Amino acid sequence: MLHKTSTIVLLCAGLLAAGPAAASGNPELGKAKSATCVACHGADGKGIAPTFPVIAGQHADYLILTLKQYRSGERNNAQMAPMAANLSDDDIADLAAYYSQLPGLKTPKP
């Protein structure tokens, strides 16, 4: 019984550590695919102006969900809808893997 429980705990821990997006996206490919993203989100993913969201350091799962929502039209945004329209699931996973591993903004200490 203890052996079976230990195996299940280790399996679950491994799945949580890897995460679905971490296992599926390739950050190097994501960087190569990010050329159009740079126009608004900047080379560092922190946005070129305050009106553009910071995507650097965001959770990959969040980025995947958001891009798929823009692609499907579930999220309506005149700038992002055409950008996401032709992205494949692999493109989205790669972009999410790339941007999620970039350093995000730091919250200043009071």
Residues spanned by the domain of 40 = 28-100
pLDDT band, very low/low/confident/very high, at 9 (cuts 50, 70, 90) = very low
Work out the mean pLDDT of the chain and round it to a whole number.
Answer: 85
Residues 6+ apart with CB under 8 A from 40: 47, 48, 52, 79
92 located within any domain: yes
89 located within any domain: yes
Can you give the pTM of this predicted structure? 0.77
Please state the domain count of the chain.
Answer: 1
23 located within any domain: no
Q: Output the pLDDT for position 19.
A: 45
91 located within any domain: yes
User: What's the token pair of residue 42?
Assistant: 């900047």
CATH number of the domain at 88, please: 1.10.760.10
33 located within any domain: yes
106 located within any domain: no
Q: Which residue has the higher pLDDT, 93 or 5?
A: 93
Residue 87 clears pLDDT 60, i.e. is over it: yes
Among 45, 19, 42, smallest CA distance to 98 is for: 45
Residues 6+ apart with CB under 8 A from 74: 68
94 located within any domain: yes
42 located within any domain: yes
Among 16, 101, 21, smallest CA distance to 68 is for: 21
